[in-house]
Structure 1
């Protein structure tokens, strides 16, 4: 668990390095004497190259340094010209009065949002597509090379109860809602590219609105399912030394006739379980932040704690500790999508092994009953516990 948590922490900090590519170190300020302190050609070219330009020559020139000289010259605009007023709004120095009282209402112009738009439509979608596509290719190759994992021994015709009705309810509530969330989330990311040519803009607008409504409301079922599976199975997913033997044997997935012993959940299933819990909690928190805009800021405080450890500095990262409400939402959306990509890839592997990849595996969640020989081959230690419990129960019953 410490290894998994360490990897997730480093992933959290490392992925934001992508987002900061658009915020590179600014070069030395050019000579602006020829332009009277205004933007130069070099400033424009630097922006086109994707470099960060020092905007202090503009952000500090918002009409407040020449008040006496401007009095009486600008009429109803007071002591700020149009350009100075715009810059004051852009850099957050203007005295803004709005009727709304929401935390983000006073931000009229958000100057730091373009990196989010570029990152979301560029690297985020590109690498996310590689992750999902790569997982599908791996599963296809595994099926072609290994084939379906069959029950090796002779079937007994007897079944063993593997999961109760409540356990299966929690599983399907969690898994089913996640599949709906995954599909509707992918529509939000890729829909404009693939569905507008099919439905047209008006048709896609209706479809996208319905998809968003479904995504927002199914999220509650997902979170409830997460709570149920955690309560049901956390005790059975505590790692033990036997898991190392299972991992050393590759779980028998790559060798026919190899069946390392396992309890109710083997090491592979335990890894999937803890990833589902950790990623499920993370994606739920960022989802709640998006469901309630500006009400649940998380990243500025998180980055303060992270920077205090010194690890981001060692990795060459400069995590921002002060953010506008809109920046908090942008980071929440980026993190939500990044976790979703990894989550979907993991669930694809789980679906494969629980359906076409392994004979008898679907019965565990379909009917709750599994073939005794399947249980003996894949969860022999658990089957022994069940048989011992049944024997003890029978011995404790009074004789007729």
Structure 2
């Protein structure tokens, strides 16, 4: 009996040694030299797992399924766009536009009234038309500065004011941006309705284009109330305004019928359209101030010089003078 017991003990020891020899190396691979578990030791790498599963989710007890998302690799693509592509692309577009307009001013200079001021004014925009324009314009400027802070604030403003001040400024800018969007939308609707009929394309726009749009000296370009360039600015502004408004309100009220990936796409659309919109309005501001003599008065006081109207909007001026011949308040008045 003692002999059999010793044989059984020897067999158990042999089986134990064989088990250690078989499973020991596999276990050792999952341990660091100090004996701690190795989290990277697995049959499938993390990158391969991400390729197989678009995102990793956990279990939650609340109704909001979005809260169960633990890892979403697609967010890295959005982060790269926001932190790299948008910075470079936005800087190139906006600074490029400013440089181009500066060169245009140096090469072409300010477009003067060829015959000089006549001393007679004619009404171009009524008070409510100017109000609608300035409501939209001021709202756009506020939205532009506060929105650019989201994109470039950490690069340009943070090093100057420090993290605490930058945090306060950005928080205020966020609320200002959100609430100003409502006044911008009201102004956008107003100018879309008020100036819609005068911005419909017509044959005279082709003539304006053939004559160089008035930028060629000693070559008159015929136009109605708005020329082709102004009509293009109008339609591009309306389209861009609708795009940033819709995308902006979807960002303002997130996840109402949208998922995380769709919110990221909406933010990309909002940012890209906004940057292009800023470049468009910079060109519009340049033409209305430095680029053309007498243009700012149209939206400033509502009245323009008769010679300015004759040189830039002759067809519209002819219709206005025709109305003046009818009984009623005269449209053309001597300048004070």
Give the TM interval when normalised to the shorter protein. Answer: 0.7 to 0.9
* Partner SS, residue 304 of structure 2: strand
Name the CA shift for 1:96/1:139 in 2 (closer, same or farther; >3 Å).
same
Aligned counterparts of 2:78 and 2:203: Cα–Cα separation in 1: 44
TM-score computed with the length of structure 2 as normaliser: 0.82
Deviation at 1:121, TM superposition (A): 1.0
Q: Deviations over 1:261-317 (max 9, x none)?
A: 1010000000000000001001101001000011153xxxxxxxxxxxxxxxxxxxx
Query: Where do 1:127-276 residues align within 5 Å?
Result: 127-253=89-215, 255-276=216-237
Q: Which consecutive unaligned segments of at least 5 residues does structure 2 have?
A: 1-40, 330-336
Match among 303, 324, 331 for residue 265 of structure 2? 331
Who is 1:70 aligned against? none
- Number of aligned pairs? 289
Partner Cα distance (2:188, 2:250) in 1: 18
Q: Helix, strand or coil for the counterpart of 1:55?
A: helix
RMSD after superposition: 2.0
Q: 1:122 aligns with which of 53, 75, 84?
A: 84
Q: What is the deviation of 1:326?
A: 1.5
Conserved 8 A contact 1:97-1:106 = no
Contact in 2 for aligned 1:289/1:296 (Cα 8 Å): no
The answer to whether the 8 A contact 1:243-1:262 is kept is yes
- Deviation string 1:166-224 (CA, Å, 9 cap, x unpaired) is 10011001111101111111111111112122111011000110111110010001100
CA distance 1:103–1:221, change in 2 (3 Å): farther
CA apart distance, 1:394: 5.7
Secondary structure at the residue paired with 1:121? helix
Please say if residues 216 and 291 of structure 1, whose CA atoms lie closer than 8 Å, have aligned partners that are also in contact: yes
- Candidates 38, 41, 48, aligned match of 2:44: 38
1:95 and 1:333, CA in 2 relative to 1: closer, same or farther beyond 3 A? same
Give, in angstroms, the shift of residue 259 of structure 1: 2.2
> How many Å apart are 1:111 and its aligned residue?
3.3
Which residue does the alignment assign to 1:309?
none
Query: SS at the partner of 1:256?
Result: coil
Superposition deviation, residue 95 in structure 1: 3.5
Q: Point out 4+ residue stretches in structure 1 off by more than 4 angstroms.
A: none
| Contact 1:155 1:373 (C-alpha < 8 Å) held by counterparts | yes
Would you say 1:380 and 2:309 are equivalent positions?
no
Q: Distance in 2 between matches of 1:292 and 1:36?
A: 42
Q: Answer yes or no: is the 8 Å Cα contact 1:151–1:359 preserved in 2.
A: yes
* Cα distance in 2 between the residues matched to 1:159 and 1:260: 21
More off after superposition, 347-356 vs 256-265: 256-265
| Secondary structure in structure 1 of the residue aligned to 2:327 | helix
Matched-pair contact (CA < 8 Å) for 2:86–2:151:
no
Q: Is the 8 A contact 1:184 1:211 kept in 2?
A: yes
Rounded Cα–Cα distance in structure 1 between residues aligned with 2:64 and 2:242 = 27
Find the counterpart in structure 1 of residue 66 from structure 2. 104
Q: Distance in 2 between matches of 1:133 and 1:296?
A: 37
**1:142 positional shift:** 0.5
CA distance in 2, matches of 1:266, 1:280: 21
- The question of whether the paired residues in 2 share the 8 Å contact of 1:161 and 1:369 is answered with yes
